[in-house]
Chains A and B, each alone.
Chain A
Amino acid sequence: MQSLSRFRDPAPSRWAYRKQRLMLTPAFRFFLRAGLPFSVVFLAVAIYLANGDRRATLVEGAAEMRRQIEQRPEFQVRLMAIDGASAGVDEDLREILPLDFPVSSFDLDLEGIRKRAEELDAVASASVRIRSGGVLQLDVVERTPSVVWRGRRGLELLDGEGHRVAALAHRTDRPDLPLLAGDGAEDAVPEALELLSVAGLIEPRIRGILRVGARRWDIVLDRDQRILLPEAGAVAALERVIAMDEVQDLLDRDVTVIDMRNPKRPTLRMGIAAVEAFRDAGLFRHGAN
């Protein structure tokens, strides 16, 4: 039984046909599968974030969450322990590292702390770490002063490399350390220490070592005696003087200056009494040596 009203055109309409063809287009299908969801999400997020207040709320929320985590007791640092520093240095360190304990370990700039600690003259090197139990551990290696230097700014302690360690009020505070003087002496401390190490028997007589013209050393002995050393080969020259002293008791005689600046020809300046005695004995002769 087929009536006219039930007759339906089996042909798709133009738009149905086009829609089917569109749905069979790979690019369009990709757009539906990936492009459309992406753009919808992107649009939604963009609309939500277009409002400044919402953005601020989000940022605040994130910051708040971060702060909450940072302030958990597990991450709190309560005290600082300094190892390897003398009492004065310890005090100085605590002074230059202004930390308000308790502080979160996230807020600590360990590298910065280390750098600031090393800026202190008395500190050779420092290592910083956070120990379990909330302790900021600062391990310090101090510089050991090896000489006293009398420079233009007064007395200073220098270590073996010539680096400043601390200021000194009186020479008598550190009588155990040798005294250096003169401009540029701090740059040649290792050489001075070497000179002292070869001084041997005359060491107790050394009052200090003087840097002359920032290029060579004078060794100043008691009884106003001086040993003038050359720029190069100062140690060898000093050894030679000591050898002469051992053989001929050079330094025990009335000699004011032993000039070794020309290493090939040591020159002596005699004391006045010696010169007179020499003249009285008629020993001066022109060209004599």
Chain B
Amino acid sequence: MPVSFDMEPTETMRDLYHSQRTMRALRRAAIQRGVVAVLDIGTSKIACLILRFDGPERTRITDGVGPLAGQSSFRVIGAATTRSRGVRLGEIDAMGEAERAIRTAVQAAQKMAMVRVDHAIVCVSGGAPRSYGLAGEIELEADVVAETDVARVLASCDVPDYGEGREVLHAQPVNFALDHRTGLGDPRGQIGTRLACDMHMLTAETVLIQNLLHCVKRCDLELAGVAFSAYASGLASLVEDEQELGAACVDMGGGTTSVSVFMKKHMIYGDAARLGGDHVTLDISKGLQVPLNVAERIKTFHGGVVATGMDDRDMIELGGETGDWDHDRRTVSRSELIGIIRPRVEEVLEEVRVRLDAAGFDHLPSQQIVLTGGASQMPGLDVLAPKILGQQVRIGRPLRVHGLPQAATGAAFSSAVGLCLFAAHPQDEWWDFEIPTERYPSRSLRRAVKWFKDNW
């Protein structure tokens, strides 16, 4: 049986390790310094939260999970939201505009926090994310699984050809199997002969991440981490048993609707549809012949997806500034508005359904679906969604974290809040373990020490 640890890691893998490790080191440095910014660069809004870490938790930790689900270690000291500019479908469209919008948000948050931040953790919703399941298997050298064995088994996973111009966002070990036992969370210290692992890898377009990096750098910030937005939303809006038993989180944003599936507290699937709340606004604008900002206002004030008899009599003033009396005095009934909104929302949900089906969501033991994100606040969605997605659907709001202002507790902020949790307690990723070949220097050093011990 060829042992794979003497396999040379590929060039891309090295790069990946390098960039992700750099980010991880930056994140660690930021937490050491105590202040880190969380940036949710969305299509409709840009949110910036500034977190302060008060060092290691002083409170007693019981059974792995500390008080407040381990969030007592940080506190939100600054929060700001601004209208997004220069972002389309979750991707940066106009660099200068996006940079200005980020500056606005960061400046306001810094002003509130009275603290300067140098590190930012951002989330990505666009970039056509694709997820892969990887598997690897090795023979153990010793009886007991050591940390190096975990690294070896992770390195033995054969990376699929995910295409040119794409980059790995997440690569998380999801499951370990030792001999015939599977479902191990942490195999270290256990006894066996064969170690296998399953890994979930999520890739996105390199250009997107580079743009993001560039944009953040132009704001004098350093990128200390990147997370997939549905993953962050899932961390924030799925409750613990949902994450454990299996659930899907649907982050319905402005430009994209991203989906993540959680199982055993790990993300096992992630995908995104390039459809969102902005398309609804666009439909209203086109259908009712109103400007986009009026359409947005009408959507947020009067929007809905389930029409009742009352809605026929609920007339909405469209308004206008053209000077043409007839044009400016138009009204539309709420039923008509719902008639415009509903097909688009249905399309979004269908799109989600397709993606969940592709992921094999039907086979999960629990099929809870949590809708979150700004577009999930549409009235009547809790009636419409079960018709398309199945019975176990709920509207999720993010977890409460320390110091979060009331204005930032809505469903639109679930990925920002999720990024806070991601910053405080990141899951183990592939690059957190050493590449076996990188250990050669230390091994030779150890050999030298052993030689000294034997001969002196």
Cα A158 to Cα B114 with chains together (Å): 90
Residue from B82, B101, B107, B114 having most chain A Cβ neighbours under 10 A: B107
Among A14, A16, A24, the residue within 8 A (CB) of B114 is: A24
Question: Which residues between 54 and 112 of chain B lie within 8 Å of chain A, taking CB atoms?
Answer: 82, 100-101, 103-104, 106-107, 110-111
Distance between Cα atoms of A124 and B59 in the complex (Å): 81
Output the nearest chain B residue to A29 by Cβ-Cβ distance. Answer: B116
Q: How large is the interface on B (under 10, 10 to 19, 20 to 34, 35 or more residues)?
A: 10 to 19
With A17-B219, A25-B116 in contact, is A10–B111 under 8 Å at CB? Answer: no
CA distance A11 to B102 in the complex (A): 8
Please tell me if the beta carbons of B110 and A9 are within 8 angstroms of each other in the complex: no
Q: Does B448 contact A (CB under 8 A)?
A: no
Q: Which residues of A contact B100 (CB under 8 A)?
A: 9, 11
Interface contact A10-B82, CB-CB below 8 Å: yes
Q: A233 to chain B: closest CB distance in Å?
A: 79
Q: Is the CB of A20 within 8 A of B82?
A: no
Cα distance A263–B110 in the bound complex, in angstroms: 109
Which A residue sits closest to B100, measured CB to CB? A11
Chain A residue at minimum C-beta to C-beta distance from B96: A11
Q: With a CB–CB cut-off of 8 A, which chain B residues contact A21?
A: 110, 116, 220
A175 at the interface (CB under 8 A from B): no
Name A1-35 residues within 8 Å CB distance of B: 1, 9-12, 14, 16-18, 20-21, 24-25
Contact B107 A20 (CB under 8 A): yes
List, in ascending order, chain A residues with CB within 8 A of B116's CB: 21, 24-25
Q: In whole angstroms, what is the CA distance A14 to B96 when docked?
A: 11
Closest partner residue, chain B, to A26 (CB atom): B116
Give the docked Cα–Cα distance between A16 and B219 (Å).
Answer: 12
With a cutoff of 8 Å between Cβ atoms, the chain B residues found around residue A25 in the complex are: 116
**Once the chains are docked, how many angstroms separate the CA of A16 from the CA of B116?**
14
Chain B nearest CB: distance from A38 CB in Å?
Answer: 23
Whether, in the assembled complex, B3 has its beta carbon less than 8 Å from a beta carbon of chain A, the answer is: no
Cβ of B110 and Cβ of A20 under 8 Å apart? yes
The answer to whether A11 and B104 touch across the interface, beta carbons within 8 angstroms, is yes
- CA of A172 to CA of B106, assembled, Å: 113
CB of A12 within 8 A of CB of B104, answer: yes
B111 contacts across to A, CB distance below 8 A: 20
- B304 CB to nearest chain A CB (Å): 28
B103 touches A12 (CB 8 A): yes
Q: Is B104's CB under 8 angstroms from A10's CB? A: yes
How far does the alpha carbon of A18 sit from the alpha carbon of B116 in the complex, in Å? 10
B29 at the interface (CB under 8 A from A): no
Counting CB contacts under 8 A, is B332 at the interface?
no
Complex Cα spacing A155 to B111, Å: 101
Q: Within A70-116, which residues are at the interface with B (CB < 8 Å)? A: none
Chain A residues closer than 8 Å to B103, beta-carbon distance: 11-12, 14, 17
The answer to whether A24 touches B115, judged by C-beta atoms less than 8 angstroms apart, is yes
B105's closest neighbor in chain A, by CB?
Answer: A11
A257-272 interface bits toward B, Cβ cutoff 8 Å, 1 = contact, 0 = none? 0000000000000000
Q: Which residue of B lies closest to A12 (CB)?
A: B107
- Closest A residue to B219 by beta carbon equals A17
Residue of A nearest to B115 (CB): A24
Q: How far is the CB of B120 from chain A (nearest CB, A)?
A: 13
Q: Which of B144-191 contact A (CB under 8 A)?
A: none
A-side contacts of B115, CB under 8 Å: 24
Smallest Cβ-Cβ distance to B110: which chain A residue:
A24
Cα separation A206 to B171 with both chains bound (whole Å): 125
Q: Which residue of B lies closest to A9 (CB)?
A: B100
Q: How far is the CB of B201 from chain A (nearest CB, A)?
A: 36
- Looking at A1, A14, A18, which has the most chain B CB atoms within 10 Å of its CB? A14
B-chain residues with CB within 8 Å of residue A1 when the two chains form the complex: 321
- Residue of A at shortest CB range from B114? A24
Residues of chain B lying within 8 A (CB to CB) of residue A14: 103
List A contacts of B82 (CB < 8 A).
10
Q: Are A18 and B110 in contact (CB under 8 A)?
A: no
- Whether B220 lies near A18 (C-beta < 8 A) is yes
- Measured CB to CB, the residues of A under 8 A from B are 1, 9-12, 14, 16-18, 20-21, 24-25
- Report the 5 A-B pairs with minimum CB-CB distance, sorted nearest first: A11-B100, A24-B116, A11-B104, A17-B103, A12-B107
Give 28 pairs: A residue, B residue, CB < 8 Å, sorted on A. A1-B321, A9-B100, A10-B82, A10-B104, A11-B100, A11-B101, A11-B103, A11-B104, A12-B103, A12-B104, A12-B107, A14-B103, A16-B107, A17-B103, A17-B107, A17-B219, A17-B220, A18-B220, A20-B107, A20-B110, A20-B111, A21-B116, A21-B220, A24-B110, A24-B114, A24-B115, A24-B116, A25-B116
